[in-house]
Chains A and B, each alone.
Chain A
Amino acid sequence: MDYVISILGPLLGGTLVTLKMFVITMALAVPAGLMLALARISHFKVLSGLVNIYIWLMRGTPLMLQMLFIYFALPFVPVIGVRLPDFPAAVVAFALNYAAYFAEIFRAGIQSIDRGQYEGAKVLGLTYSQTMRRIILPQMIRRILPPVSNETITLVKDTSLIYVLAMNDLLRAARGIVQRDFTTSPFIVAAAFYLIMTLILTWGFSRLEKRYAVFDE
């Protein structure tokens, strides 16, 4: 027990890195995903085609490869090439990747709303953007909560990939101690930390689902 307490410090430090990564990625990927979803269903063929290609690229290659590319290769790309420090590079990769997945969830949610809702809004004089904001998106949110919750939990665990850029997230912190002390118990503690984080998320999402269930269709 004393041993567990002695390693809590570095593990909490790692958890902080993990959480920071998680929160910033969510804050960027959710709105970006919504924009991508709206672009994908738009009638501008060029725009929706470009988004299609983007989503294919992001879902079709490993997140770790995308992260390595942004960190190591992006500086040498002409015109858009920039050299990013490790944390921002990881954030950009995660946000771009998760935005693609969220976009598909949002698109499915938007397209699941009955045509009659658009017509009902249209005959009342609402514009397309008013219809989206006031009528379609609020109904969409309820339907996409379960898949979004899934994706969010995956993200918490995916953040462990940032170890390849030598950042001390929760898992890398645990591994460091394992290698130093020749014991695997830090892994158990790390697992407990992940479980607590996902438990809180699961609880939060089920609260949200209940709140949106008041108008149960």
Chain B
Amino acid sequence: MPSSTNNPMINATDIHKRFGSVEVLKGVSLQMSKGEVIAIIGPSGSGKSTFLRCLNHLETINSGRIEIEGEVLASTTDNTCTYAPDAQVRSICRKMGMVFQHFNLFPHLTVLQNIIEAPMTVKGLSRDAIVPKAEELLRKVDLLAKRDSYPTRLSGGQKQRVAIARALAMEPEIMLFDEPTSALDPELTGEVLRTMRQLAEEHMTMLVVTHEMGFAREVASRVLFMDQGQIVEEGQADAFFASPEHPRTRAFLDNML
């Protein structure tokens, strides 16, 4: 196999997705290289979360092609979309970690157990091997003191930081964020954004669906604006916010800022 570093981390081409008769993605494409931080913005219902969820197989696409680090997750020939075999889909998707709007922490496990669950169950690591790493991640998100608490005892911002640590424990190549601060009280978004910014500074490849324009402007290298199932405009973050070209982008940004 050719060196995978030459391949884009994510190469999605002409993704179409329907829910029943409603087409929510109408030919979305994205190429993303290693270390990039891309923010996807857009009004609700624009398909941005769905697009993210298609990339790691939480949704199945109707047509198009998805490659992750050169490995084909789904491809379409003659209008039929085929996915890789199950085991391969799982191994491809393990390259991506995901953080959800509603955290999805496991309520019956403590913070530490939440983090070590997948490394132990999926990777077969021993407890001794993973606990130091989990503690290091908890230190990084500044929650080592909450190691043995159950998620219900945490604030929203703390939950989300645990969720980030949990995803990182699987050592993903790419981190997907699906509106990570949308369920948080405004005063709690800062701590989560700080953790994400820190991750970006460590050159993690990040694809972030967000309503936080400030974060998109300062941290993202590239910004995509989606509306009605399509990418309407994209560009380098500075240029994008300084002089959006498309009227719909302008209207959206005027509303947001």
| B-binding residues in A (CB < 8 A) | 114, 116-117, 119-127, 130, 134-135, 138-139, 142, 214-217
The answer to whether B152 and A116 touch across the interface, beta carbons within 8 angstroms, is: no
Distance in angstroms between the alpha carbons of A142 and B58 in the assembled complex: 27
The answer to whether B104 and A126 touch across the interface, beta carbons within 8 angstroms, is: no
The answer to whether B106 and A122 touch across the interface, beta carbons within 8 angstroms, is: no
Q: A114-B104, A123-B96 are in contact. List 19 more A-B contacts (CB 8 A).
A: A120-B104, A121-B118, A122-B58, A123-B56, A123-B93, A124-B167, A125-B93, A125-B170, A126-B121, A134-B117, A134-B121, A135-B108, A135-B117, A138-B108, A139-B106, A215-B150, A215-B151, A215-B152, A217-B152
The answer to whether A125 and B107 touch across the interface, beta carbons within 8 angstroms, is: no
Q: A117-B106, A139-B108, A215-B107 are in contact. Are A124 and B100 (CB under 8 A)?
A: no
A120 contacts which of B94, B96, B100, B170 (Cβ < 8 Å)? B100
The answer to whether B107 and A116 touch across the interface, beta carbons within 8 angstroms, is: no
A116 contacts which of B96, B104, B118, B170 (Cβ < 8 Å)? B104
Is B102 an interface residue, CB under 8 A from the partner? Answer: yes
**Which chain A residues lie closer than 8 Å to B117 at the CB level?**
124, 134-135
Is B166 an interface residue, CB under 8 A from the partner? Answer: yes
Mostly, the A contact residues are: helix
A124 contacts which of B58, B118, B152 (Cβ < 8 Å)? B118
Distance in angstroms between the alpha carbons of A121 and B121 in the assembled complex: 11
Q: Which of B39-67 contact A (CB under 8 A)?
A: 56-58
**Which chain A residues lie closer than 8 Å to B58 at the CB level?**
119, 122-123
Q: Which of B81-119 contact A (CB under 8 A)?
A: 90, 93-94, 96-98, 100, 102-109, 117-118
How many residue-residue contacts, CB under 8 A, span A and B? 66
The answer to whether A125 and B94 touch across the interface, beta carbons within 8 angstroms, is: yes
**Could you name 5 residue pairs across A and B whose Cβ atoms are closer than 8 Å?**
A116-B100, A117-B104, A124-B170, A134-B117, A215-B150
**Which chain A residues lie closer than 8 Å to B242 at the CB level?**
none
Give the residue among A126, A139, A215, A216 with the most B Cβ atoms within 10 A.
A215
Distance in angstroms between the alpha carbons of A139 and B105 in the assembled complex: 12
Distance in angstroms between the alpha carbons of A139 and B118 in the assembled complex: 17
Which 3 residue pairs are nearest across A and B when measured between Cβ atoms? A120-B104, A124-B118, A116-B104
Is B251 an interface residue, CB under 8 A from the partner? Answer: no
- Looking across the interface, which residue of chain B has its beta carbon closest to that of A212? B108
A130 contacts which of B97, B104, B121, B150 (Cβ < 8 Å)? B121
Is B122 an interface residue, CB under 8 A from the partner? Answer: yes
Give the residue among A121, A122, A124 with the most B Cβ atoms within 10 A.
A124
Contact with A along B136-176 (1 / 0, CB 8 A): 00000000000000111000000000000011001000000
**Which chain B residues lie closer than 8 Å to A126 at the CB level?**
118, 121-122
- Looking across the interface, which residue of chain A has its beta carbon closest to that of B170? A124
Q: A123-B56, A124-B170, A125-B90 are in contact. Are A130 and B106 (CB under 8 A)?
A: no
- Looking across the interface, which residue of chain A has its beta carbon closest to that of B91? A125
The answer to whether B107 and A120 touch across the interface, beta carbons within 8 angstroms, is: no
Distance in angstroms between the alpha carbons of A130 and B118 in the assembled complex: 10
Q: A138-B108, A215-B108 are in contact. Are A123 and B102 (CB under 8 A)?
A: no
Distance in angstroms between the alpha carbons of A130 and B123 in the assembled complex: 12
Distance in angstroms between the alpha carbons of A123 and B89 in the assembled complex: 11
The answer to whether A120 and B105 touch across the interface, beta carbons within 8 angstroms, is: yes
Distance in angstroms between the alpha carbons of A139 and B151 in the assembled complex: 13
Q: Which of B156-209 contact A (CB under 8 A)?
A: 166-167, 170
**Which chain A residues lie closer than 8 Å to B90 at the CB level?**
125, 127
- Looking across the interface, which residue of chain A has its beta carbon closest to that of B149? A215
**Which chain A residues lie closer than 8 Å to B56 at the CB level?**
123
- Looking across the interface, which residue of chain B has its beta carbon closest to that of A137? B108
Whole-angstrom distance between the Cβ of B194 and the nearest chain A Cβ: 23
The answer to whether B104 and A139 touch across the interface, beta carbons within 8 angstroms, is: no
**Which chain A residues lie closer than 8 Å to B118 at the CB level?**
121, 124-126
- Looking across the interface, which residue of chain A has its beta carbon closest to that of B99? A123
Whole-angstrom distance between the Cβ of B125 and the nearest chain A Cβ: 12
The answer to whether A124 and B108 touch across the interface, beta carbons within 8 angstroms, is: no
